[in-house]
Amino acid sequence: MKDILARISQTFGPSGREEQIRSQLIKELTALDRDLQLKTDALGNLIATKPGGEKRLLLAAHMDEIALLVTHIDDHGFLRFAPVGGHDPKILLGAKVVFANGTAGTIGREKLKDKEDLKMDKLFIDIGAASRAEAEENCPIGSMAVFAPHFSPQGNCIIGKALDNRAGCTLLLEVIRNLPAVDYQIDFVFTVQEEVGLRGARTAAYQLQPDLAIAVDVTCTGDTPEAPVMAVELGKGPAIKVKDRSLISHPQVKNRLEETAKLLGIPYQLEILERGGTDAGSIHLAREGIPSGVISLPARYVHSPAEIIDYRDLKNAALLLCSFLQHKDLFPAL
C-alpha cells in the first residue's frame, strides 16, 4: 500500500482539475486486474463497478485536493490567488506550491501593520518571474497550484501532502485487491470536487442509486499539544463516524461497523467531528435517502503541506472494510 500511496499522493489533482490523478488511479486499478467495469461520468467521477446481485453498495473516496487559483498577475509577475477548498493563511505563508505544468513557486506576504492581520488577500505566489508577461506564459489566470509533492515514511507514520484523501483512495484500492466474494454489486467511486462542497458524490449517488454507502476519508485528531478536544488519536485504529457537520451516521451502519471491528479484534475509535464533512454528507441525501456511514483515517495537520497518518490505521481500516463487506446483515432493514 505504501508504494501506491506514495504515487497517488504526489500526483497533481486539485478540485475541478482531477485529470492527472484520475489517470493515475485508472493505471492503479488496471494493474490490480480485478475485472472491474471502469467509467468516468460527466462530472469526472471515476466509477469502478464489480457487478453482482440486486442490492448495490457504494464505496466513496474523494480524489481531489485543496488548491490555489490564480486570480491576478501584477506588473512584476507576482500571482494573487483565491483558495479552492479550506486554507489557513498562517499555514500557507512560506509554503512551496507547484502548478500542473511543473512550475514551482513559494508563498510570500505583504508588509503587515499587525502580524495578526494576515489574511488571504495579503499573500501572493512568487514563481521567480520578472514580469507579468513571463508569469502569464507559465501560470495564466485560472491556473491552479497545489502543495509541492513529497512523501516521507517515518516509523509507523507517513508524512506527505494530499493524504486527504489519497489515503482514502489507497484504502479503496487495497479493498479491491482483497475483494471477497459477495452477492451484491459494489461501485467504488473516486469522487471529484469534495473539497469545494461534496459535489461529485452528490451526482454519483444520484445516478448509481445504492442501497447502502460508506465513505472513507481522513479526520482530525486531538492528540497534539493544546489541540482542540477530540477523542481521536493517531495509531489507535480507524475511526467510525458518529456525526459531523454534514451527516449523522445511520445507526445500523455505525453499529455493524463496530460489530465487525469487535469480532475481528480491530482497534477502532468513535469520531464526532464538530467541523467539516465527507462525501457521505451528500450521498445520504440523494433521491429517497441512502443509509450511510464513514470510516475515517486519523490525520494530523489536515489541509497543510505536511499531513501525518499512521500506516497501522490505514491497514486496519482496509481490514475493517473488507470484513464489513461480508457482514451477514449488511443492508439495513428499514
Active site residues: 194
According to DSSP, residue 214 is labeled: E
Q: Where are the beta strands (DSSP E) in 66-143?
A: 67-73, 79-84, 96-99, 104-109, 123-126
* Cell of residue 198, nine digits: 461534496
Instruction: Indicate the pairing of strand 239-243 with strand 212-219.
Output: unpaired
CA distance 18 to 199: 13
Cα–Cα distance measured from residue 191 to residue 91, given in angstroms and rounded to the nearest whole number: 26
Nearest to 327 by CA among 241, 238, 253: 253
| Cβ-Cβ contacts under 8 Å for 163 (sequence gap 6 or more) | 5, 9, 218, 299, 307, 308, 309
Strand partners, 84: 67
Q: Which of 330, 309, 153, 154 is nearest to 237 (CA)?
A: 309
Cα distance between residue 59 and residue 279, in whole Å: 10
Interatomic CA distance for residues 262 and 266, integer angstroms: 6
Angle, vertex CA 226, rays to CA 221 and CA 229, nearest 5: 50
Coil/strand/helix, residue 48? strand
Helix 163-177 with 2-9: angle, nearest 10 deg = 140
Interatomic CA distance for residues 313 and 315, integer angstroms = 6
Task: Give dist(CA 279, CA 74) in Å, integer.
Answer: 38
